[in-house]
Chains A and B, each alone.
Chain A
Amino acid sequence: MNDNGPTLLKVENLTKSFPGVIALNNVTFNLLKGEIHALVGENGAGKSTFIKIIGGVLQPDKGTILYDGNILSHLDPRRARSIGINIIHQESELAPTLSAAENIYMGREPTKECKWYVDIERMNEDAQEWLDKVGADFSSKVLVRDLTISQRRLLEIARAISMDTGLLILDEPTTAFTDQEVQRLFQIIRGLRNLGVTILYISHRLQEIFSIADRVTVFRDGHLISTKHIKETQEDELIRLMVGRELRAVVRDRSKPIKNTNSELVSVSKLTKEGAFNDVTFSVNKGEILGLTGLLGSGAGKIGQALFGLVEQDSGTISLNGVQVNLTSPAKAMYHEIAYIPADRKLDGLFMIKSITENISLASLEQLTKATVIDLQNERTEAKKYQTLLDIRAPSINQIVMNLSGGNQQKVLFARWLMKQAKVLILEEPTAGIDVGAKQEIYDLMSGLAQKGNSIILISSDLPEVLNVCDRIIVFRDGRIVYEIPGDEATQEIILHHSTGLCNPERKEERQ
């Protein structure tokens, strides 16, 4: 590492753990004044935990943070902002019904002599100056809800620099940007650097990093792996550093013969939905685990939702056992024996204040009723059966699911669809935030279900998981299928090359 110039931020031995995971492990990091520094790493590598600690959103377990020579402790977002650290999050944090100026000066509105009276003219004028500085093409009086995504991003940057920011942290700022908008944003970022602002830039898109950053730091599994000068590294090297991740979970046992292979259960043809996915064609066999992967917003997740009737396609068809079906609601998809476990199990999957029994049985109540009256005894027995089968650990089946661990909550969702006897399982990030032991149990469960002739569609951005569990992997980028490969031939490098859009991985592999 080349440490020229004064240091703005110095982080030493930073560690942060969450139940079941060490999100940051002994990270030591150095940020120079006035540089544009990129952070890269796979999902879950620790980048966002890192910036959240610097921004005061999370408290570290141990370690020291020195900013401009001062030790920062017990930082909160408000104080971080007051000393000049500003984060622009992936999701916009603006009030849509207020004007650009009101958003810039929210909570610190300029007032007239009487402190209760906002000086609207001055606020609009001052805000306009900041907007002009970042090259915004809209008026400070316009309402945020009328701005495009890239305009909102500029507004957030204008707000940040209006607060006398020394360190600006941008988390995936170019999501949903056009190439032109990306270029303009880069000009603005370079302009900010010339004004003396230091920039920490997080992105999945390696090309972007090579065109904007001075230095780049790679995170992996909560460790800081390496910091490189951008001129002294290459895309291949960064990818190699990012994926050197070892898998502690055991690989799926593919040796056992799978029943009914090569008989198509689900097939999707030319499925298109404006802004989500485009001309997607693939099929899943009985007994197969198919992986759909890609970067955030690649369209893989939306395809899963379309197969469960949550997203209606503009054109194209979905067939089950060769018969075309019209999936317009989850109820219809369930009728066709399709099940879906959403990425956010707490928000979209579980009834947190309800018991394990009620959570498991809700999708299968018809099976448990006589003339719409629920047979409570039968319901308990059935729920117990699946609790034992999946080893859902809880003192009682009447326990409310809020009190269960993440892994056990996820098993409750699996139990729900096992009781329903679904044939096709669509799983979106099924092991996110789950500890290693429970992960393994869920992989075993998936294998077992595939053995029995079910089809599983695994939508995951966890590459080791996809590589180890899937029979076949399809890579999505910008809503299209860009690559397909059998699970046992794939490597993380190949998949990352295709999902990030860097071409010709084969040629690069030859070079190695």
Chain B
Amino acid sequence: MVDGKGKQDAVSAHDAGGKLAEGIMHIWRTQKSLVVLLFVIVILAFLSEHFFTVYNLINVARQTSIYAILAAGMTLVLTVGEIDLSVGSNAGFCGVIAAYLLKRSISLPLVILIVLGVGLFIGMINGVLTAKIGVPFFVATLATMSALTGASFLITGGYPISMLPRAWRVFGQGYMWGIPVPVILMIATFIVLQFIQGRTTFGRRIYAVGSNPRAAYLCGINTDRIRVAAYSLCGFLAALGGIVMSSRMDAGDPSAGSTFLMTLVAAPILGGTKLSGGEGTVFGTLIGALVLTIMNNGMSLMNLNIYWQDLARGLIVLGVAIPQIERRLRR
């Protein structure tokens, strides 16, 4: 911003200096994960000759895509100050529904529409349960998580529905302009969500509700509706993730997604989203998700036991979360 008026020149010069410092501080405060990401990449590039290959990097991006799409939705719910525990099982359920419908020879576009609608509807149920009825989010989404997992197993009889039509594979296994389709979907998701968060009234209101729900209400915001919308969008993205997941595995697996929760919370936290609500960006979440996959990838390349990955993830989340708590106390 430049102030043209003469008498304000001194002010704006001071402003500019302040803004630069503020900008640097802002990057460090909000983009710590980006710094961590670069750090991890540099380390891994030294440790493994396989890391910096096009093949591996594309692989990393593809591995990230499902987590990242789901974590983007989770970020919205975290930003209003709540957690949706059911995202993973919602994705799994949507994958099962997709497989079930495909097996009954329903046309592919219709399947996509139905599945996205189902995901959205499940998200909306979570939102209505918490915002309108007042069930604590932990209880409500824990319940839907369990119910959805149960429903997935009932529909499939416990076995994955496999041998899906070839055309379905495009979402998880296809390429466009040499880039894996899931990666394109992931990038598209993040562009749209970042725009919603940063530029629209809805995005602004999500932050307001998460930052101070009572003040938001006193600003005339329908806080219930914002919460329901955040959960619904999260459910929609769970469905998108579920579609990619079933396509990638070429099956509707009832147990898919059930182990995602830790990653889906870890990625936003790493990316600067606060569990207390009101702060965080989906861009940060994308970086957070990349950090997590790259670390897993690096550990795989170095032939480390897979259980190290869980241990490392837990430690990383604590390492990011604890300094946040300290800052809160000092305030």
Binding site for B on A (CB under 8 A): 308, 310, 329-331, 333-335, 340, 342, 347-354, 358, 362-363, 365-366, 369, 372-374, 376, 380, 395-396, 398, 402, 416
Contacts and interface: CB of A to CB of B under 8 A. Distances in A.
B56 interface: no
A353 B279 contact: yes
Nearest to B19: A396
A351 B200 contact: no
Contacts of B278: 351, 353-354
B204 A362 contact: yes
Nearest to A341: B218
B156 interface: no
Interface string B1-29: 10000000000001100110010000000
B220 A363 contact: yes
Contact of A349 (B18, B201, B215, B222): B215
Interface string B196-220: 0001111011011001101111111
A414 to B, nearest CB: 14
Most A CB within 10 A of own CB, among B1, B18, B202, B218: B218
Interface size class of B (residues with CB under 8 A): 20 to 34
Contacts of A329: 220, 222
Nearest to A361: B204
Contacts, number: 83
Given A331-B220, A348-B214, A351-B207, 20 more contacts: A347-B214, A348-B212, A348-B218, A349-B215, A351-B278, A354-B208, A354-B211, A362-B205, A362-B221, A363-B219, A363-B220, A365-B201, A369-B200, A369-B201, A374-B200, A374-B204, A380-B1, A396-B19, A398-B19, A398-B22
A353 B276 CA distance: 11
17 contacts: A330-B217, A330-B220, A342-B218, A351-B215, A352-B211, A353-B278, A353-B279, A354-B211, A362-B205, A365-B201, A372-B200, A373-B199, A374-B200, A396-B15, A396-B22, A398-B22, A402-B331
B201 A330 contact: no
B220 A334 contact: yes
B200 A349 contact: no
Contacts of B279: 353
Contacts of A353: 211, 278-279
A372 B201 contact: yes
B219 A416 contact: yes
A28 to B, nearest CB: 36
Contacts of B211: 351-354
A401 B215 CA distance: 14
A353 B204 CA distance: 13
A351 B212 contact: yes
B221 A366 contact: no
Contacts of A395: 14-15, 18
A305 to B, nearest CB: 10
A351 B207 CA distance: 9
A373 B200 contact: yes
B222 A331 contact: yes
Per DSSP, chain B at the interface is helix
Most A CB within 10 A of own CB, among B19, B205, B220, B331: B220
A353 B331 CA distance: 11
A330 B222 CA distance: 9
Contacts of A352: 211-212
Contact of B218 (A330, A365, A398): A330
A395 B15 CA distance: 7
A330 B219 contact: yes
Contacts of B204: 358, 362, 365, 374
Given A380-B1, A396-B15, A402-B331, A351 B201 contact: no
A380 to B, nearest CB: 7
B221 A331 contact: yes
Most A CB within 10 A of own CB, among B15, B219, B279: B219
Given A348-B215, A362-B208, A374 B15 contact: no
B18 A396 contact: yes
7 nearest A-B pairs in the assembled complex, by CB-CB distance: A331-B220, A351-B211, A334-B220, A365-B201, A363-B219, A395-B18, A330-B220
Nearest to B276: A353
B215 A350 contact: yes
B331 A374 contact: no
Contact of B199 (A333, A334, A351, A376): A376
A340 B220 CA distance: 11
Most B CB within 10 A of own CB, among A329, A347, A365, A366: A365
Contacts of B219: 330, 334, 362-363, 416
A350 B214 CA distance: 9
Contacts of A358: 204, 207-208
Contacts of A334: 219-220
B12 to A, nearest CB: 11
Interface in B254-292: 278-279
A82 B216 CA distance: 43
Contact of A366 (B18, B201, B214): B201
A363 B219 CA distance: 5
A342 B208 CA distance: 17
A282 B278 CA distance: 40
Contacts of B19: 396, 398
Nearest to B26: A398
Contacts of A365: 201, 204-205
Nearest to B23: A398
Contact of A354 (B207, B214, B218): B207
Nearest to A333: B220
A335 B217 CA distance: 14
A363 B331 CA distance: 27
A374 B203 CA distance: 10
A340 B218 contact: yes
Contacts of A340: 218
